[in-house]
Amino acid sequence: MESIRYSARRFAEVLGLSPQELTEAETRGVLTRLRAEAPQRTSYTVDDLARARGALGRQPARRPMRKQLFLNFKGGTGKTSVSTSYAFRLAEMGHRVLVIDLDSQGHASKCLGVAGEEAERTLFDAIIKKTPLEQVIVRTGMPGLDLVPSNLTMSTIDLSLMPLAAREFRLRNSMKEIESAYDYAVLDAPPSFGLLNLNALMAAHDLFVPVLADFLSFHGLKLLFETVQSLEEDLEHVLDHIFIVVNAYNATFRIAKEAREALQKHYPEFLLKHVIRQCTKFAQASSEGIPIFAYDAESKGAQDIQAVLDEVRARIGDPVKLKLASGSDEPKPAVGGGVVVPRVKTAAETAR
């Protein structure tokens, strides 16, 4: 993250200024110190960004921590690429964000420039040994963006959770103590079906499900949504929102269009309008350990994540009325070999 450089144009844009307003602030306004330190400046760092945001008083309003989980039991659908880019962008916008890497492969850590294998502690310590989460959190080098790293010690966590009391609630409980320190917690889940992911679901307000536009992804949703439904029945946890995000979309493939239409038909209340198009920059950015916004903010991938973020924020800020799929007398849609539509909170419930 320390290697990230913004051009003056992008720096102004991220701060919500025009290039002229930035120059103005640097010559006569509140950013004169920034300019004085580097009169010949051609680029800006992430620390410059944080300082400028502070000096300009352009921090977004603080909000109660919103826990957002990226999960799909299927691998390779973009959970890590999308969640880390999304989290980075929130931090770039001035929010306080904690990424929790739940996958023992540590890819989210890597995407944020942290070598998970070198981490002294992981979520394992927090939820199995009850080490305060604060002591597990590391800085990413991007101001406002912190991380609970992961490595192979996480691979036995499901087994270790098994005999513990309140085994489905350990993550939710361990997050309580850091609730006031962050606006968002972004959880990147492994593609597995087990106690850790159950913990993650129990902790989450919102569930993001990145899917590929193919029919395997479509069928994979059934198991996931059955699990979500059982959470309400067995553990009394109802999610605020579910967002299905079509990832790596290529509109020139007929199968992709058809799969998206099927999602639209069966999950209209969950499917996000914006898709994330296929974009090779995700892989390039992750190999450098920086998020796509820092690698190429103009890329299709970065633009699409921004569109998704905006759409989600509009939905969260102003909850739409969601159709009740269970607990009502309405028949469930009996299509495609059984589509499961879990219940999410209604607008009235969310407002409470």
Ligand X SMILES: Nc1ncnc2c1ncn2[C@@H]1O[C@H](COP(=O)(O)OP(=O)(O)O)[C@@H](O)[C@H]1O
Exposure letters 139-165 (e unless 16+ CB within 10 A, then b)? ebbbbbbbbbbbbebbeebbebbeeee
Under the binding rule (CB under 6 A), the answer on residue 104 touching ligand X is: no
Nearest CB to ligand X, comparing residues 69 and 322: 69
Under the binding rule (CB under 5 A), the answer on residue 110 touching Mg ion is: no
Under the binding rule (CB under 6 A), the answer on residue 278 touching ligand X is: yes
78 binds, among ligand X, Mg ion, none (CB under 5 to 8 A by kind): ligand X
The number of residues that bind ligand X (CB under 6 A) is 18
Pairing verdict, β 6-7 and 43-44: antiparallel
Q: Are 323 and 269 in contact (CB under 8 A)?
A: yes
Q: Report the amino acid identity of residue 200.
A: A
151 binds, among Mg ion, ligand X, none (CB under 5 to 8 A by kind): none
Under the binding rule (CB under 5 A), the answer on residue 79 touching Mg ion is: yes
Nearest CB to ligand X, comparing residues 109 and 278: 278
In this chain, which residue has its C-beta nearest to Mg ion?
Answer: 80
Under the binding rule (CB under 6 A), the answer on residue 6 touching ligand X is: no
Under the binding rule (CB under 6 A), the answer on residue 248 touching ligand X is: yes
Give, as one character, the DSSP assignment of residue 237. -
Nearest CB to ligand X, comparing residues 184 and 208: 208
Burial grade of 38 (CB within 10 A; 0-12, 13-18, 19 or more): exposed
Under the binding rule (CB under 6 A), the answer on residue 81 touching ligand X is: yes
Under the binding rule (CB under 5 A), the answer on residue 80 touching Mg ion is: yes
Q: Are 244 and 74 in contact (CB under 8 A)?
A: no
Map residue 194 onto helix, strand or coil.
coil
Under the binding rule (CB under 5 A), the answer on residue 74 touching Mg ion is: no
Q: Are 274 and 208 in contact (CB under 8 A)?
A: no
CA distance 22 to 346: 43
Q: Which of 56, 185, 276, 340 binds ligand X (CB under 6 A)?
A: 276
Query: In this chain, which stretch among 76-84, 200-208, 303-311, 312-320 interacts with Mg ion, using CB under 5 A?
Result: 76-84
**x/- site string to ligand X, residues 163 to 202, per CB under 6 A?**
----------------------------x-----------
Q: How far is the CB of 249 from ligand X (least distance, A)?
A: 7
Q: Where are the beta strands (DSSP E) in the chain?
A: 6-7, 43-44, 66-70, 97-101, 138-139, 145-148, 184-188, 206-212, 241-247
**x/- site string to ligand X, residues 49 to 78, per CB under 6 A?**
--------------------------xxxx
CA distance 71 to 247: 13
CA distance 299 to 285: 11
Question: Which residues lie near Mg ion (CB under 5 A)?
Answer: 79-80, 107
Question: Which residues lie near ligand X (CB under 6 A)?
Answer: 75-81, 107, 191, 247-248, 276, 278-279, 282-283, 286, 301
